[in-house]
Amino acid sequence: MTPDSETKCQLDRACEEAERRATEFEADFAFVDTFLKPFPYVIALVTAKKVGVLGALSVEGCRPEALALASGLSEDRVRSILRLLSEMSVVEGIGSDNLRLTQRGKRISAEWFGHPVIGAHLRMYEMILPSLPDYAMILAAEMPGSAMHWPPQDHGASVDFEGFMTPTIRFVAAWLDKVFDFSDTPNLLDVGGGDGSMAALLCGKHPSLKATVLNLEWAREAVHRTVEQHSVGSRVSFYGADFLSQPLPSGYDVILFSRMLCDWGDDVVRRLLNGASSSLLTGGAVIIVEALASPKKQWNSDPWFLFWETLVPGYAQNGFRTEACWRSLSSVTGFVIEDIHICRNPPLQGIGAIVLRRSP
């Protein structure tokens, strides 16, 4: 099997996994909505992970006293955490000497950050919580938080940020490949393309496709590592630039903005779309991948909003935009919307792929 065919299988397997786990993903989203937005539950879950309670509960027969001794928390605090974990159906056996993880608890504990639905939320919250005084008090220790530089300015910060973006990339790439034909696309520019996973997956499936990942210089090492992991060689390249102050490179058939424009205000989006218009080859397309907001309400997912508010002082979160907003932004930058694809299935339900072409 060639490297390209192996990567193609990764996209195909992602589609199959999403279909196979549809019911499970639905339950995971319900879990997120019910338990990962109310703050006490999140504090209980992340604290239980940090101090080893989840790990200890993987062995049946645990008692609160033993968990308190092992974790360094008071017995009252451990019992409070266990009660919340029980309400989340993560722990069972409350009131007995046979405390243990449920099947959901085992799955969360085992997959943790790698889980495509729950993992991204947990990753955000683990970064947020040390910055909150209540969390430091709960752990009975000094855990001063420090503001995260945005965008990330070094490899360590990029690893933190990409950690909660990457679990669903294979699903996004597989879905995007189903709704847009990349087979006749010679050159793709992925703006703010993270560690290059999206570009590598698409290039792996389409042998004629070449992709450039535009990101800040800190991402160079991560992109090179991704290229090696996917064995796509010179077909995925890195372009170090700050899209806030530098022009986009030119000569591309498709320019992709995947799950990154929601992080910026309309002024930045207009500047990027104007830049994309200048960088596109004749007949080229811009693809915007973002969750679409309801026409009745501009909304942000709670952990995402809290993430920015907590770790990025002064950051003006614009949030997800409605279809009408995108049509307006497209029009004023010389584009028309050719198509809008909405994913209706987990784990990407609500995500839209907006295809823009230059106005005639």
Confidence class for position 26, pLDDT limits 50, 70, 90: confident
pLDDT given for residue 59 in this prediction: 75
Cis peptide bond prior to 152, omega within 30° of 0: no
What is the model's pTM?
Answer: 0.74
Evaluate whether 340 touches 352 at the Cβ level (below 8 Å).
Answer: yes
DSSP 21-90: THHHHHHHHHHHHHHSSSHHHHHHHHHHHHTTHHHHHTSTTB-HHHHHHHH-S-HHHHHHHHHHHHHTTS
pLDDT tens digits for range 90-102: 999 887 778 889 9
Both structure tokens of 235: 């077909």
pLDDT tens digits for range 302-342: 555 555 555 554 444 456 788 999 999 999 999 999 999 99
Task: Give the mean pLDDT of 286-309.
Answer: 64
What is the number of residues in the chain? 360
Domains (ranges, CATH) in the chain? Answer: 23-146 (1.10.10.10), 162-358 (3.40.50.150)
